[in-house]
């Protein structure tokens, strides 16, 4: 298990925004994970670190974990948040939204359908914009995931993470961060639902430097061989409802069930960003098993996002 850094101070990130995982350098990624451990171990030390800071939450999609953990994170650091829900750019231009909010608040966390919305907010905002989820990336989830992996297995280098299912935004963020942290990553997807070619190419380049092994396959049993962790996500994300039946039929072989978990290491954990559809991407007996780390991941959303806010705002 990683040893928490008890008195870790926050260093300002070089980039002023977190539009994608790549706005964090590899060094900053590790620093955020270290700081997340420190915050989790000694929350009182940081209880007033962001006093007087205000976070705007702009959500185009419903949320439990992302909204609650960002609201709690800023409040537990001494600040506060304001929340607005609705499609950005419909009532007034995104550039106007950004330039209003940067007069009133110190950062904007946006959960959007399109990555372009994140890019537009960042272009016009004078305060940090945080990607709280888009169609291309989910960097805040990935931070919590790698914090959880470190807690379970100690050093990340040499750990194997296997992903089964849709090559979506979560898969993209896991790929980009695993390849930089030296985590072996294998992903099994149907041919029609592979991760974006650009993300794969970037990740393979990072892996050359870190020594991580990146494997893409259509065979879930091949992907999970010797895996320390088996990860999946929903087959139908918000906005993809029209594709439901086709996606379900294609994804059935990728359900994480006991057969899949047995093919991984004996001490393998099961991971999911939640919400989960039991009986679809994961069998009920797996998500409710002792191997399941899904609620550890959910808890670590709070700590990882505290660390991120500290490095952007302190």
Active site residue 296: no
Annotation says 267 is catalytic: no
Q: Choose the catalytic residue: 138, 172, 247, 303.
A: 138
Q: Which is the catalytic residue, given 135, 301, 303, 305?
A: 301
The active-site residue, picked from 273, 280, 297, 305, is 273
- Identify the active-site residue in 23, 34, 166, 233: 233
Among this protein's residues, is 273 annotated catalytic? Answer: yes
Q: How far apart are CA 81 and CA 292, in angstroms?
A: 32
- 28/131 Cα distance (integer angstroms): 16
Q: Residues 76, 141, 202, 280: which is the catalytic one? A: 141
Name the active-site residue from 53, 67, 111, 150: 111
For 273-314, the three-class secondary structure string (H helix, E strand, C coil) is: CCCCCECCCECHHHHCCCCECHHHHHHHHHHHHHHHHHHHHC
| 301 given a catalytic annotation | yes
Contacts of 3 (CB under 8 A, 6+ apart): none
CA 91 to chain centre: 29
Active site members: 111, 138, 141, 233, 273, 301
């Amino acid at each position: 298990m990683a040893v928490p850094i008890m008195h870790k101070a926050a260093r300002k990130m070089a980039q002023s925004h977190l539009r994608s995982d790549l706005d964090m350098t590899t060094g900053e990624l590790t620093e955020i994970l270290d700081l997340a451990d420190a915050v989790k171990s000694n929350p009182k030390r940081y209880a007033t670190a962001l006093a007087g800071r205000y976070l705007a939450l702009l959500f185009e999609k419903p949320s439990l974990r992302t909204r609650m953990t960002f609201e709690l994170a800023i409040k537990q650091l001494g600040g506060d948040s304001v929340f607005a829900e609705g499609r950005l750019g419909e009532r007034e231009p995104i550039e106007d939204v950004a330039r209003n909010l940067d007069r009133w608040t110190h950062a904007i966390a946006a959960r959007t359908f399109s990555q372009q919305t994140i890019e537009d907010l960042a272009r016009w905002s004078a305060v940090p914009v945080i990607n709280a989820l888009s169609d291309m990336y989910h960097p805040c989830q990935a931070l919590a995931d790698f914090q959880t992996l470190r807690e379970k297995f100690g050093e990340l280098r040499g750990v194997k993470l296997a992903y089964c299912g849709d090559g979506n935004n979560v898969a993209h963020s896991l790929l980009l961060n695993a390849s930089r942290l030296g985590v072996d990553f294998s992903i099994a997807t149907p041919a029609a639902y592979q991760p974006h070619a650009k993300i794969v190419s970037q990740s393979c380049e990072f892996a050359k430097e870190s020594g991580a092994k990146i494997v893409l396959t259509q065979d879930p049993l091949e992907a999970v061989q010797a895996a320390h962790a088996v990860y999946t996500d929903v087959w139908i994300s918000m906005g993809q409802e029209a594709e439901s039946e086709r996606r379900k039929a294609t994804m059935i072989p990728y359900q994480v069930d006991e057969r899949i978990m047995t093919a991984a290491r004996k001490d393998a954990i099961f991971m999911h960003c939640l919400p989960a559809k039991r009986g679809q991407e994961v069998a009920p007996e797996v998500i409710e098993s002792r191997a399941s780390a899904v609620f550890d991941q959910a808890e670590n959303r709070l700590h990882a996002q505290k660390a991120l806010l500290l490095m952007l705002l302190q």
